[in-house]
Structure 1
Amino acid sequence: MQLVAERLTFQLLDVSYSVEGGRPVIEIWARDVKGRRLLLLDDTFRPYFYVLPQNGADLDKLAEELRRLSRPRSPVTSVEKVDMKYFGRPVTALRVTTLIPESVREYRDLAAKLPGVAEVLEADVRFSMRYLIDLNLYPMRWYVADAEPVNRSDIIADGAYRLVSRPSEEPSMADVDPLDGLRIMAFDIEAYNPQGSPNPSKDPVIIIGVAFNDGERLQLEAAGHSDKELIQKFVDVIRRKDPDVIVGYNQNSFDWPYLLERAKVNGVKLEVGRKRGAEPNPSVFGHISVQGRLNVDLYNFAEEIEEVKVKTLDEVADYLGVMPKDKRVNVDWWRIAEYWDDSEKRKTLLAYNMDDVTSTLGLAYQFLPFGAQLSQISGLPLDQVAAASVAFRLEMRFMREARKLGELVPNRAEEETRELETYTGAIVLEPKPGIHHNVAVLDFASMYPSIMVKYNVGPDTLLKEGEACERVNEAPGVRHRFCADRDAFFKRVLERFLKWRAEVKAAMKKYPEGSPQYRLLNERQRAIKVLANASYGYMGWAGARWYCRQCAESVTAWGRDLITRAASLARSLGLKVYYGDTDSLFVENDPEKVEKVIEGITKGLEFDIKIDKVYSRVFFTEAKKRYAGLTPEGKIDIVGFEAVRGDWSDLAKDTQAKVAEIVLRSDDVRKAVDYVRQVINDLRNGKVEVEKLIIWKTLTKSVDKYEAEAPHVYVAKMMEKLGFKIDVGSKIGYVIVKGDGPLSRRARPYFLVKPQDIDVNYYIDKQIVPAALRILSFFGISERELKAGGRQASLFDYINKK
């Protein structure tokens, strides 16, 4: 019976591939407009790579030698001459096509050894991504294609089809919320931990909390200390609910690896994907792949929130307003086994787990809209775009644009070979110390991307020694030269980004703020901005395919020149310039003169600049990148002080933030001094919780690699002896206790310390007083005055001194 092709309208969720009958088959996991979950197959696409010949090489001879490399398992099916560009220069390359994707690496190594071969390119592009790039397909977008149904018993889906036409984008669905209608599941596990850190080889999973975006909540509990049935129930729940997106918080590093090990111990198959027999497995960017579903670790998005230094689930949920810390149930994680074994405390543990999973689902609502737009723009599937760095996100888009322009994609070099290539960064103008009133902050819109566009910066336009060009842009100071006769690859991409973002922001004005359409477009413009602004940093990233130190150095040189000229223009108009940093200028807020500065920069220098914010008061120290400002709306911004750093205790950070607030709001230094004294008194009288005294530091290498034994390293070693699993990247929380000897030897894990053990004098002398004096010393306040009394200076005393 002849099958009849159907016209499918579908959303592309993920892509993978398999090898069937000795041929690769692309597998597109999708859902259609009818709500069906589908597997779409394409068995016509083949893997390939490029060989770039040396100058003068005989291409016909080289092509024949490449054909001779053919192996029966995956033969070389064709070698074709293709006219391409490499770093903007025309080249003729050989495109080598084979059958099995895994064979590309083998052929790459063999081809690289042939005489006359300069480089082998694009052999490291993953086959499934190669398919998306070549067909210009983007995850989370909607497409139409003709397809005929096929029988597949190995999948958990509503149907399978073989594509009989190439998908094309469905424009009518472009502004549909990509998450609308997707089934989202959040989960969180608790593991038994009688020794401190749980050991998956022997310690069971005791609770799995699950929450769905349709409102269903449930908790699966172990039978005492046996989790075999629990894990099977978890698999059954996922099969029953069939989620498209699975979210967790740090599940790539903990929950999934732990569950996989426990499943193995119990002889249970963790079949949670849409392909039968397949279990979660490690994939690119360190994420865990669940076939047919998008496994998104929300911790990856939380890592990008600079304002939150200790990125625990409860801290991030509190910061984003998902669940206030004081409204949720908290259990010290090292006491989970104790709570499980006590029938009364177990109720608290269950409530704690449910708050965790509810917070996780709440964070999904916060992060996934942005992630979906990043996926639609970068071309990486949602699970990968979450785990990938911004450089990898941008690079995927660059690879797509290279394909459209006929540009060969460079290979990725070893980062170690480029680490020493440093250059001068952005300019920072000396601040005018003190408190200043009515200050406008002028901000250049996308300064570095705009410089790259204006001056045509890119590795393909960077002129090598001896190269000529009619029109040349030379970077001030560093004297790198860029040809302006042809558009740089980066310029073409960035012009598209900047124009696209302007169009999206214009479209936002058509909708009420807060409406679904407005929120969708706002996430889109944010995603475009993030990728565009990463372009400068990408060029200087040692792992970039399009790495170009001279390009990055030139962009900062033009940036320094631009800020300097803008400051000179402001001064020439009679404005006071208080500070300048990278792409911002702090000036006296005289509206008429500020408007002239904006006009002069926009028309004269041809760069967009606007008032980013106004401070009714702003305080600068003599140090760069360190200030505190009060907006007319009453918001306090603190930049560069300990208050926004993670290696000071919360008490020190809170004290400093409060001191800045008092000084800015009231102009009353005496009031700030009194506040610090009260904090010191509370500390001396035991009125401060131990949690406020924890100092968090991250291990940047394994503990045995540290030469000096810093406090957090000493504590990490202590925790290892107690049975805790400590890895690179672990955040170590410690407090300082009373005693003699070096400071590091007086550091203890915070969860082992009683309030009476705290070294109060350390926190006063090394935390509270120094943090407060970062601000108050500017007004003549001394350490003695904060700790013991004496006449307190006022803001008027300071002004009179001036």
Structure 2
Amino acid sequence: MIIYDCDYVAMDEKTAVRLFVKEGDSTRIIYDDRHDPYIYAIPSEDGSREKIEDLVKVSKEKVVQVLRTEEVTKRYDHEDVTVLKVFFRYPFDVPELREDIAQYATIFEYDIPYVRRYLIDTGLRPLVPLELTTEQRNGREYLVDAAPSRSAPEELTSMSLDIETYSVNKSMPDAATDPIIMISAATGEESHVFCWKACKGVDHFGDEASMLEGFFAFLDRLSPEVFVTYNGDNFDLPYIKKRCEVNGISHPFVSHMKIKGRGSNTSAEVPGMVHVDLYPIVKKNVNVSRYTLEAVYAEYMGREKSDLDGSKIWQYWDDESLLEELVEYSRDDAVSTFEIGEQMLPLQYEMTKIVNQRPFDVARASSSALVEWLLMRHSHELNALIPSPPSSADLSRRFAETYEGAYVVEPIKGLHEHIFYFDFRSLYPSIIISHNVDPYTLDCECCTDNMAPTGHCFCIKEKGFIPAILDSLLSERMRIKERMGKASGLEHKSLYSQQWALKILANSFYGYLGYPRSRWYSKEAAESITAWGRKYINSVIDQAQSEGLSVVYGDTDSLFVCTPTKDLDRAHEFLASVNERMPERMELELEGYYRRGLFVTKKKYALIDDDDKIITKGLEVVRRDWTGIAKKTQRTVLEKILRDADIQGAIAHVQQVTLSLKENRVPIDDLVIDTQLTMALSQYKAIGPHVQIAMRLKERGDDVRVGTIISYLVLKGQGRIRDKVIPVDEYNGEEIDANYYIQNQVIPSVARILQPLGYSKEELEYQKTRQSSLEGWF
């Protein structure tokens, strides 16, 4: 049996947690009403406890008061202290009274959401097998006891969900007036398109209302524990909820749906059915040129899906000859979303087990939040008070603080061969563990032999709070990686997700310590970690140079070393000599060999391995605002230089592309520029091309907001660039501005690759006179 979701309800004058559990093929709800909400308080003077217990707030709707208090012992500031545990009847009573309580005491743990608090206190781990003992009361099943189980974990069933809407000449539809015309859903075994027009391959219904009801009937039959969407938080789910209101349809899926937040921070939750929006997960974990579903499916999954212009979907709906194409597009949306989910969900599940919080919350959490939840759980297990979040004054001070970051070596620009890539295994986590870096061990007077280059000392007489947790995470990851070597199939896939989750968490601790909003913030610890990091990478570079090796680039925790030939023995000898001098837990690893590499500047390079796989870092091939022609040209240039060392061929290709632009032979799709609005239109002081287009779209009635992707073309004409742009959907065969695309897209995309090799921008553009003279020579 596993818990896959939980929330709380107020009933029978108490707060009860609802645990959504799966056992075998069935799911059910188990209640737990034994945990009253609470906060901690350290009274400021005698009599404070009585004053806190007497607090009452009365309004027309309710009476809010403290339920009871208890004296308990907690660990605080390196010592045991007596504190008040102040209980409430309902979680929503806490914010009503906490400021009043703060008049008589210093309060702690007052901002922790109730369900998060429950999971921390009980130790119940979502998605981990459990033996739950229950009893029946008033027709409901209540939890009596819980214990770990050795049974195999239950498999969660999942499906994907996507909608298509009908809106004429709008970039964004309006849920109040524009209907849903299709709902697509997919699982590993089947896919459906629910539609209210007859067409081959659809589940047909007479109108929008009956289509919605038909989809809900399918949902009831399938009863998935998890459903995935792509931007469902901000679009699909709020839209479905609104259309159900318009059509007068009631179903638990929408009546129980909770829409929280605003704008791009919206979340849509359905209790008992975990909604995982893949869009924020992909943006956090995958580096692609654009974060549309089509681009992610092509670049991350390596497969193509059908694509339509969203603003023209209404035309496909109105034209019977195009309807079948729209149906397949809708189905592809659901299938591709499901397949991306299949890749992403295992990581989310493993992260859920580690940090001990709900899958719904984990899927939306930043790396810092995940670290903080883990620290909160361990702090509770140590009976220590969890630090409060920073005040406004603390935040202002912290955001103003700066410190020196990682060391980056200026690369030896140009083309190099026989490159060995060395990387410290988990450098910053290893430094934290090796030097016991922790806010609680900071600046002791007894351990001056453990002094960072910053001058801060960290006590090594007792394992620090954070180093102990990190040590456990890294040790577990090593055990899992050892098991991976002997595993295969589903077991290997599961182990890979487990070690990946542990790696992400471990590598997030340094950033968390320096994050101004964190509860365990420590600038001193963060700057000491980077200082030690600079010391160790510099020592390795010095050793490489002393052994006659050429270091062509180094960054933070890695370095690229050239040898005259592919000398693996020499590389391993260097590796062994470095590791002999490193502290325990710190280890340099040989990550790879590359037969050729191009280094442009800091954090910008490209490499090719013996299998002809090209790896790029920091180059424009992944930027959204570069056109397709710029990206394709740069990719071809890199291939010619890295695979064949054919620099002249690369230059010739660029010249040919510029000629194609001048002769108007480049497909329009390769000339579209995509730029995202990062603020409200009224906030832009400089009116760039994308802002000009956004204003035009808004004037014609399109829904333009922060986050909208503006797609436009630059046409031949007079004036500034912004005077020559049009929305891509208004293009009607006009001549494009070839010179703009050459000088602002193609040439810049390849110049930083070819200039370090000694070639100027002028040499890259096709010139008729130059070409004629060359032909004459030959």
- Normalised to the residue count of structure 1, the TM-score between the two structures is 0.89
Instruction: Identify which of 211, 219, 223 aligns with 1:230.
Output: 211
**Equivalent runs, 1:713-728 vs 2, <5 Å:** 713-728=691-706
C-alpha distance in structure 1 between counterparts of 2:421 and 2:193, whole Å = 50
| Alignment-derived partner of residue 796 in structure 1 | none
| Alignment-derived partner of residue 688 in structure 2 | 710
Q: Is residue 2:571 matched to residue 1:615? A: no
Q: Is residue 2:158 matched to residue 1:188? A: no
| Alignment-derived partner of residue 438 in structure 1 | 418
Q: Is residue 2:756 matched to residue 1:782? A: no
The superposition leaves residues 224-245 of structure 1 with CA deviations (integer Å, 9 ceiling, x where unpaired) of 9952222222222222221211
Instruction: Identify which of 81, 90, 98 aligns with 2:71.
Output: 81
Deviation at 1:719, TM superposition (A): 1.7
Deviation at 1:707, TM superposition (A): 1.2
C-alpha distance in structure 1 between counterparts of 2:556 and 2:364, whole Å = 28
Q: Is residue 2:100 matched to residue 1:110? A: yes
**Contact 1:439–1:615 under 8 Å retained in 2:** yes
C-alpha distance in structure 2 between counterparts of 1:316 and 1:45, whole Å = 44
The superposition leaves residues 334-387 of structure 1 with CA deviations (integer Å, 9 ceiling, x where unpaired) of 111111111111221111111111111111111111111111112222222111
C-alpha distance in structure 1 between counterparts of 2:744 and 2:261, whole Å = 45
Deviation at 1:18, TM superposition (A): 0.4
Deviation at 1:456, TM superposition (A): 1.4
| Alignment-derived partner of residue 211 in structure 1 | 186
The superposition leaves residues 513-562 of structure 1 with CA deviations (integer Å, 9 ceiling, x where unpaired) of xx110000001000110111011111122221212222211111111111
**Contact 1:249–1:360 under 8 Å retained in 2:** yes
Instruction: Identify which of 245, 256, 259 aligns with 1:281.
Output: 259
Q: CA RMSD in A?
A: 2.3
Instruction: Identify which of 308, 318, 321 aligns with 1:344.
Output: 321
Instruction: Identify which of 392, 409, 430 aligns with 1:429.
Output: 409
Please give the secondary structure, in 1, of the residue aligned with 2:581.
Answer: helix
**Equivalent runs, 1:101-500 vs 2, <5 Å:** 101-114=91-104, 117=105, 119-149=106-136, 161-165=141-145, 167-173=146-152, 176=153, 180=155, 182-196=156-170, 197-221=172-196, 227-272=208-253, 277-282=255-260, 286-321=266-301, 324-325=303-304, 328-413=305-390, 414=392, 415=395, 418-463=398-443, 468-470=445-447, 473-476=450-453, 478-500=454-476
Deviates more, 1:313-322 or 1:101-110: 313-322
Letter of the 1:201 counterpart: A
User: Quick one: structure 1 residues 410 and 633, their matched pair in 2 at CA, closer, same or farther if it must change by over 3 Å?
Assistant: same
C-alpha distance in structure 1 between counterparts of 2:553 and 2:227, whole Å = 46
Instruction: Identify which of 731, 746, 753 aligns with 1:768.
Output: 746
C-alpha distance in structure 2 between counterparts of 1:254 and 1:472, whole Å = 57
Please give the secondary structure, in 1, of the residue aligned with 2:313.
Answer: helix
**Contact 1:602–1:608 under 8 Å retained in 2:** yes
Letter of the 1:704 counterpart: S
Deviates more, 1:750-759 or 1:387-396: 750-759
Deviation at 1:90, TM superposition (A): 4.5
The superposition leaves residues 587-621 of structure 1 with CA deviations (integer Å, 9 ceiling, x where unpaired) of 12443443343223323122111111111011112
**Contact 1:208–1:221 under 8 Å retained in 2:** no
Please give the secondary structure, in 2, of the residue aligned with 1:387.
Answer: coil
**Unmatched segments (≥5 aa) in structure 2:** 198-203, 772-778
Deviation at 1:260, TM superposition (A): 1.5
**Contact 1:441–1:584 under 8 Å retained in 2:** yes
Letter of the 1:21 counterpart: D
**Contact 2:193–2:330 under 8 Å retained in 1:** no
**Unmatched segments (≥5 aa) in structure 1:** 1-9, 153-159, 793-802
| Alignment-derived partner of residue 494 in structure 2 | 520
Query: Kindly, what percent of the aligned residue pairs are identical?
Result: 32
C-alpha distance in structure 2 between counterparts of 1:608 and 1:70, whole Å = 59
| Alignment-derived partner of residue 68 in structure 1 | 54
Q: Is residue 2:2 matched to residue 1:15? A: no
**Contact 1:712–1:734 under 8 Å retained in 2:** yes
C-alpha distance in structure 2 between counterparts of 1:791 and 1:579, whole Å = 37
| Alignment-derived partner of residue 696 in structure 1 | 674
Letter of the 2:493 counterpart: R
The superposition leaves residues 46-83 of structure 1 with CA deviations (integer Å, 9 ceiling, x where unpaired) of 11111135xxx44x533232222256945434333333
User: Quick one: structure 1 residues 448 and 225, their matched pair in 2 at CA, closer, same or farther if it must change by over 3 Å?
Assistant: farther
Letter of the 1:217 counterpart: H
| Alignment-derived partner of residue 501 in structure 1 | 477
**Contact 1:235–1:271 under 8 Å retained in 2:** no
C-alpha distance in structure 1 between counterparts of 2:552 and 2:208, whole Å = 63
C-alpha distance in structure 2 between counterparts of 1:88 and 1:306, whole Å = 42
Deviation at 1:37, TM superposition (A): 0.5
Deviates more, 1:713-722 or 1:242-251: 713-722
Letter of the 2:571 counterpart: V
Q: Is residue 2:24 matched to residue 1:37? A: no
Please give the secondary structure, in 1, of the residue aligned with 2:749.
Answer: helix
Deviation at 1:87, TM superposition (A): 5.5
User: Quick one: structure 1 residues 668 and 750, their matched pair in 2 at CA, closer, same or farther if it must change by over 3 Å?
Assistant: same
Deviates more, 1:442-451 or 1:770-779: 770-779
**Contact 2:64–2:96 under 8 Å retained in 1:** no
User: Quick one: structure 1 residues 535 and 270, their matched pair in 2 at CA, closer, same or farther if it must change by over 3 Å?
Assistant: same
C-alpha distance in structure 2 between counterparts of 1:71 and 1:21, whole Å = 21
Instruction: Identify which of 593, 611, 624 aligns with 2:602.
Output: 624
**Contact 2:348–2:363 under 8 Å retained in 1:** yes
Q: Is residue 2:525 matched to residue 1:548? A: no
Deviation at 1:572, TM superposition (A): 1.8
Please give the secondary structure, in 1, of the residue aligned with 2:578.
Answer: helix
Deviation at 1:647, TM superposition (A): 2.4
| Alignment-derived partner of residue 7 in structure 1 | none
Please give the secondary structure, in 1, of the residue aligned with 2:253.
Answer: coil
Letter of the 1:556 counterpart: T
C-alpha distance in structure 1 between counterparts of 2:746 and 2:411, whole Å = 25
User: Quick one: structure 1 residues 150 and 714, their matched pair in 2 at CA, closer, same or farther if it must change by over 3 Å?
Assistant: farther
User: Quick one: structure 1 residues 788 and 26, their matched pair in 2 at CA, closer, same or farther if it must change by over 3 Å?
Assistant: closer
**Equivalent runs, 1:565-604 vs 2, <5 Å:** 565-589=539-563, 590-604=567-581
**Contact 2:448–2:457 under 8 Å retained in 1:** no
For these two proteins, the number of residue pairs brought into alignment is 749
Q: Is residue 2:737 matched to residue 1:759? A: yes
Q: Is residue 2:624 matched to residue 1:651? A: no
C-alpha distance in structure 2 between counterparts of 1:473 and 1:594, whole Å = 31
**Contact 1:449–1:535 under 8 Å retained in 2:** yes
Letter of the 1:672 counterpart: A
Please give the secondary structure, in 2, of the residue aligned with 1:102.
Answer: helix
| Alignment-derived partner of residue 51 in structure 1 | 41
Letter of the 1:44 counterpart: R
Deviation at 1:780, TM superposition (A): 2.6
| Alignment-derived partner of residue 95 in structure 1 | 85
Please give the secondary structure, in 2, of the residue aligned with 1:481.
Answer: coil
The superposition leaves residues 199-256 of structure 1 with CA deviations (integer Å, 9 ceiling, x where unpaired) of 1111111111122334253423369995222222222222222121111111110011
User: Quick one: structure 1 residues 546 and 437, their matched pair in 2 at CA, closer, same or farther if it must change by over 3 Å?
Assistant: same
Deviation at 1:92, TM superposition (A): 3.6
**Contact 1:626–1:641 under 8 Å retained in 2:** yes
Deviation at 1:306, TM superposition (A): 4.1
The superposition leaves residues 690-722 of structure 1 with CA deviations (integer Å, 9 ceiling, x where unpaired) of 221222222221111111112222222222222
Letter of the 2:486 counterpart: K
